[in-house]
Amino acid sequence: MTEYMKDTVLAEFFDNYGSGGDIACYFAPGRINLIGEHTDYNGGHVFPCALPFGTYIAVRRRDDAVLRLSSVNFPKDGIITTDIRSLTPLSDSSWTSYVKGVIWAVLDRTDSEITGMDIMIGGDVPAGAGLSSSASLEVAVGYMLSDQFGLGFSNQEIALIGQRAENDFVGVNCGIMDQFASAMGKEDHAIFLDTNTLEYDYVPLSLKDCSIIIANTNKPHSLNDSAYNDRRRECSEALKEINAFLHAYPDSDEASAGDIDALCQLNQEDFDRVKECITDPVILRRARHAVTENQRTEDAVKVLQAGDIDAFGKLMNASHVSLRDDYEVSCPELDLLAETAWTIPGVIGSRMTGGGFGGCTVSIIKNSSVDEYEKIAGEKYREAFGYDCTFIRGAAGDGPRRL
């Protein structure tokens, strides 16, 4: 697939911009999150892995400041032209804002000269599926800029640049997980990341006789148009109320360390002692999800390292229930796929993955049961919603690279 996508992007580059000059190609992967959802902006742990498919870029530097962008995936858009000296945050809602945002963030970070470019982009991450097509694009552009202009950014720096672009230029208040997973991916490993400190460990994905199966609802989600930013606001409100309580009762056990900076600094026991200070039941549920999901993620990594795949699967299932009931970011399509999976022998665990409100589920399934799962889940989905979901065989892949 890599060579096919590279050749496709190059062919479109030649058709749009001509074949002369020094043309380079780059790749950055999408990601799947196995557990740890909506914890990254709450200072918690996540457990994603990079995927073997993602975003491909062909680029040729120019001698002026003109930026020309086009995409295999959006052929009707044609060539979009702008000046890299006039990039303005929050001014563009198209796919090009992710490219422009990274360039803008890089320009703000370095004194090195960045010239204009001709860029062709293509990707095999389904857009809106919750597999981080946007982060894949951001990381691919960041890696390309670092290589083309000799900026020397580490992959971790590239992840942070991508996050800043999405937060401050695109206007999506995302955490660091998606960009970090794409930039730091390692084949056959997932990343156990503390989003508060950016400390991380690579954990081998030893799934024995099981596979990772992604089920795409084909119901796109849009973080801009969804309640994603509302969830961040609700978590901030919960944190504010907890810290107000700690100030009001300075002799409490929880107050000994002063204010907490993020909900996931609380363990379950700590949260149970302070939760009564959160007066709004909706805000309480949001906070409870953040705290319990962080604990589930820590526990999931421990049982996986111990070789207990069944326990890992049960934690995946509990994660979906919490996302459905406490965080309310699931939807009927995701629920049907996850809940159907739970009834099929050989399915170890299944949950929604990504921001929610559509997108995908991720399941760990015994290889001998994959066909049965896809048949049953596919038939039930079509009967319920009138169109097909699609299934993708997942695997842990490497991070960005020049092709």
Catalytic site residues? 178
Residues 313 and 281 sit within 8 Å (Cβ to Cβ): no
Cα–Cα distance, 92 to 143 (Å, whole number):
22
**Cα atoms in the Cβ-side hemisphere of radius 13 Å centred on 242:** 29
Cα–Cα distance, 200 to 64 (Å, whole number):
40
For the residues of 16-36, what is the DSSP string, one character each? HH-S-S--EEEEEEEEEEEE-
Residues 104 and 143 sit within 8 Å (Cβ to Cβ): no
Residues 130 and 362 sit within 8 Å (Cβ to Cβ): no
What is the phi-psi region of residue 12: left when phi exceeds 0, alpha when psi lies from -120 to 50, beta otherwise?
Answer: alpha
| Residue 392, beta-bridge partner list | 214
Matching residue, tokens 């672009």: 165
Provide the 10 A C-beta neighbour count for residue 380.
Answer: 16
Matching residue, tokens 């559509």: 358
Radius of gyration of the chain (CA): 22
Token digits of residue 75? 């052929």
Which 3 state secondary structure label does DSSP give 58? strand
**Residue 321 to residues 243, 324, 331, 348, 381, Cα–Cα distance (Å):** 28, 5, 12, 15, 19
Phi, psi dihedral angles at 32 (to 5 degrees): -125, 135
Beta strand 117-123 pairing with 66-71: parallel
Residue 311: name the closest of 319, 303, 322 by CA: 303
Chain-centroid distance, C-alpha 186: 16
Phi, psi dihedral angles at 170 (to 5 degrees): -75, -40
Cα–Cα distance, 96 to 104 (Å, whole number):
12
